[in-house]
Amino acid sequence: MAPCKTWQVRCVLCAGLLLAAALIWLCISLFVPRECARGHFAHAAVSADSLRCSEIGRDILQQGGSAVDGAIASLLCTSLVNPQSMGLGGGSIFTIRDKTGKVRVFSSRETVPLSFKPDLLNDCPTTFKLVPGIQWTGVPGELRGYEEVHRRYGKLPWAKLFEPTIKLAREGFPLPPFLEHLLTNPIIRDLVKGSSLCELFCNNNKTVLSKGDTLKFPKLAETMEIVAEQGAFAFYKGKIGSDLIEDIKAAGGTITMEDLRTFRLRMGDAWTIPIGDSLLHIPPPPAGGATLALILNLMKGFNLSAKSIEGDQKIQTYHRYVEALKFANGQKGSIKDPQYTDTTTAAHLIDSHYADRIRERISPDRTHNNSYYNVKPSSDHYGTTHVSVLAEDGSAVSVTSTINQIFGASVYSPRTGILLNNELIDFCGRAASLRPVSFQINLVEFFPPGEQPPSSMAPALLESKSGDIIVIGGSGGSMITTAMASSLINHLWLGKSLGDAIAAPVVFVDAKNNLKFEPGFEGYVIDGLKALGHKVEDFEYFFNVVNAVAKENRCITAVSDRRKMGQAAGY
């Protein structure tokens, strides 16, 4: 028996040594910080639409704030720096991963008010244009959202998150370059001049602000101070709310205090979908995540690699992608507020078997007319902002926020300094599908009070088995899906770095299934797609913007889209 015992002892010793070595290796790899290359961060990062707001978010993280704290501070800042995109008069969708990995969604997207203009649908645009007007304003949810996510995930005091933005609003700051650029556009300049927006964005002599001017928000500073002190209560039940309602009434709107009091935030688990080796977490309908999932599932089945965009292969790859977008357009109608529909809305869109069936219908050598994809032409619209935050403890926030189109309803509330949304135009897609009978339908059935309009917004998180994480989201209204899908496909499968993936020119398939190419898109691919029968239209308004933070191999890359002159911040 003796030799056997010695053998056993040796064996145990040997295993012990191996285990110790493995443990030491694990400790070193976990706790000894590895140098991250220039331009990357080792701990945490924020990517908002502007450097100023990314930095405010980062500072909050460095002061011990959670990812949610950083995101709220960044959003508040964005309501000043990109006031045309979002603000307290809008709504947002948060996708939040806590440090244990649980992902939840909080949607404060605006809702249909108890009463509205009876013939609202008559005003639905049939072409691409700005649609100002208080009749389109949904009940704002922005602050209800901040309140709840801060209550659950916040580490710093609520008021602290408002401090940097209140200071900025009161002291003023140079007109931000992107806003300056927008205000040079004649359509937008006329809109500002001809509306109550002029109170904020014009000089004393009523000329629209331009380069070198200072932007200030004195009234909004007061409002934010009260909200910082009293919480969202001030907006939904208190003085700010009643002042806002008075201004809405004065502008001809129908929203009442009752609407504010009864506004309900939606909360629940994220929808989680396997995409290759990763899990994609998206907000459920009426958000646009399901459409994104369909496109990714369709494209995944084509086994893409860097080779797929070499030479002529690129034409076929883009043809498949464009076809995927056409099918996705055809499914837009199935994105609805689940609380106001009796079917499980959009569940099929995230089913990989459904994607497999659709993929078989993609012809390699041709495209088809709209009925093939079930597309009912409607109009597109553009706006919105996105913030991605990854904190040191692994918690993450992907939040898209909006007042809908550029400057929303173009209504400024002088008593509160708040800009109001025009979110209800997002029901116009549904109206288009009912034409020409739409004007006979019962409007209350069509717009039940409390319903959230469908959205393209899809604040997402992607986690791989190896522990990598991508926090990503887009803005640009109807272009959100295109912007996010092309960034993710470029990065995950076509071998592009996150920055290059986001910067690559996109092809947008509009609501009529026409192709619109961003400047810089390769001519031979455009010609190749035309030869396959795709209809191409000229277009100049590419508002697709993606802001993302990725942790890959333990180093963090943060990218704010250059299309909106953004820059990320981290440490």
Ligand X SMILES: *[C@@H]1O[C@H](CO)[C@@H](O)[C@H](O)[C@H]1NC(C)=O
Minimum distance from CB of 265 to ligand X (Å)?
42
Assess whether 384 carries a catalytic annotation: yes
Helices assigned H by DSSP within 340-467: 352-360, 370-373, 428-434, 443-446
Strands (E), 255-395: 266-269, 271-275, 278-282, 383-390
Query: What angle, rounded to 10 degrees, do the helices at 158-171 and 142-153 form?
Result: 140
Listed in sequence order, the residues at least 6 apart from 439 whose beta carbon sits closer than 8 Å to its beta carbon are 119, 121, 122
DSSP string over 395-414: -EEEEEEEEEETTTT-EEET
Listed in sequence order, the residues at least 6 apart from 374 whose beta carbon sits closer than 8 Å to its beta carbon are 330, 331, 333
Element of type H or E holding 146: helix 142-153
* Per CB under 6 A, 371 contacts ligand X: yes
343: its two tokens: 């079917």
* Per CB under 6 A, 127 contacts ligand X: no
Query: Do 223 and 240 contact (CB within 8 A), yes or no?
Result: yes
* Contact mark string toward ligand X, 505..544, x via CB under 6 A: ----------------------------------------
Query: Do 376 and 321 contact (CB within 8 A), yes or no?
Result: no
Which C-beta is closer to ligand X: that of 303 or that of 440?
303
Determine the Cα–Cα distance for residues 105 and 90; give it in Å rounded to an integer: 17
* Per CB under 6 A, 365 contacts ligand X: no
Minimum distance from CB of 469 to ligand X (Å)?
26
Element of type H or E holding 22: helix 2-31
Minimum distance from CB of 398 to ligand X (Å)?
29
Which C-beta is closer to ligand X: that of 77 or that of 509?
509
Size of the site for ligand X (CB under 6 A): 8
Quickly count: other Cβ atoms within 10 Å of residue 518's Cβ.
18
Minimum distance from CB of 65 to ligand X (Å)?
38
Minimum distance from CB of 368 to ligand X (Å)?
6
* Per CB under 6 A, 100 contacts ligand X: no
Segment contacting ligand X (CB under 6 A): 98-106, 124-132, 295-303, 551-559?
295-303
Minimum distance from CB of 210 to ligand X (Å)?
8
Which C-beta is closer to ligand X: that of 371 or that of 442?
371
CA 113 to chain centre: 24
Query: Do 517 and 439 contact (CB within 8 A), yes or no?
Result: no
201-204: long-range contacts at Cβ-Cβ below 8 A with a sequence spacing of 24 or more? none
Segment contacting ligand X (CB under 6 A): 18-26, 203-211, 239-247, 534-542?
203-211
56: its two tokens: 């405010």
* Per CB under 6 A, 433 contacts ligand X: no
β-pair type (515-517, 536-537):
parallel
* Per CB under 6 A, 207 contacts ligand X: yes
Which C-beta is closer to ligand X: that of 301 or that of 450?
301
Minimum distance from CB of 206 to ligand X (Å)?
8
Q: Which of 6, 203, 214, 466 is in the footprint of ligand X by CB under 6 A? A: 203
* Per CB under 6 A, 303 contacts ligand X: yes
Strand-pair partners of 119:
none
Segment contacting ligand X (CB under 6 A): 75-83, 231-239, 300-308, 475-483?
300-308
* Per CB under 6 A, 214 contacts ligand X: no
Which C-beta is closer to ligand X: that of 183 or that of 232?
183
Segment contacting ligand X (CB under 6 A): 35-43, 153-161, 296-304, 460-468?
296-304
* Per CB under 6 A, 205 contacts ligand X: yes
Of how many residues is the chain composed?
A: 571
Which C-beta is closer to ligand X: that of 117 or that of 512?
512
Which C-beta is closer to ligand X: that of 6 or that of 203?
203
Segment contacting ligand X (CB under 6 A): 37-45, 173-181, 202-210, 395-403?
202-210
Determine the Cα–Cα distance for residues 362 and 202; give it in Å rounded to an integer: 51
Query: Do 92 and 108 contact (CB within 8 A), yes or no?
Result: yes
Which C-beta is closer to ligand X: that of 125 or that of 172?
172
Segment contacting ligand X (CB under 6 A): 163-171, 200-208, 439-447, 540-548?
200-208
256: its two tokens: 């009442």
State the maximum Cα–Cα separation within the chain, in Å, rounded to a whole number: 103
Query: Over 275-291, what HEC string results?
Result: ECCEEEEECCCCCCHHH
Minimum distance from CB of 201 to ligand X (Å)?
13
Segment contacting ligand X (CB under 6 A): 239-247, 259-267, 297-305, 332-340?
297-305
Segment contacting ligand X (CB under 6 A): 2-10, 201-209, 422-430, 441-449?
201-209
Which C-beta is closer to ligand X: that of 172 or that of 394?
172
Query: Do 480 and 384 contact (CB within 8 A), yes or no?
Result: yes
Minimum distance from CB of 160 to ligand X (Å)?
35
Determine the Cα–Cα distance for residues 74 and 569; give it in Å rounded to an integer: 11
Determine the Cα–Cα distance for residues 32 and 516; give it in Å rounded to an integer: 48
Minimum distance from CB of 205 to ligand X (Å)?
4
Minimum distance from CB of 251 to ligand X (Å)?
26
Which C-beta is closer to ligand X: that of 58 or that of 359?
359
Torsion angle in degrees (nearest 10) through CA of 516, 520, 522, 523: 70
Of 197, 206, 194, residue with least CA distance to 179: 197
* Per CB under 6 A, 369 contacts ligand X: yes
Q: Which of 233, 302, 340, 571 is in the footprint of ligand X by CB under 6 A? A: 302
* Per CB under 6 A, 364 contacts ligand X: no
Given the residues 95, 111, 137, 384, the one annotated as active site: 384
* Contact mark string toward ligand X, 337..356, x via CB under 6 A: --------------------
Determine the Cα–Cα distance for residues 227 and 111; give it in Å rounded to an integer: 21
Which C-beta is closer to ligand X: that of 104 or that of 319?
319
Give catalytic residues, as residue numbers. 384
Residues that bind ligand X (CB under 6 A): 203, 205, 207, 301-303, 369, 371
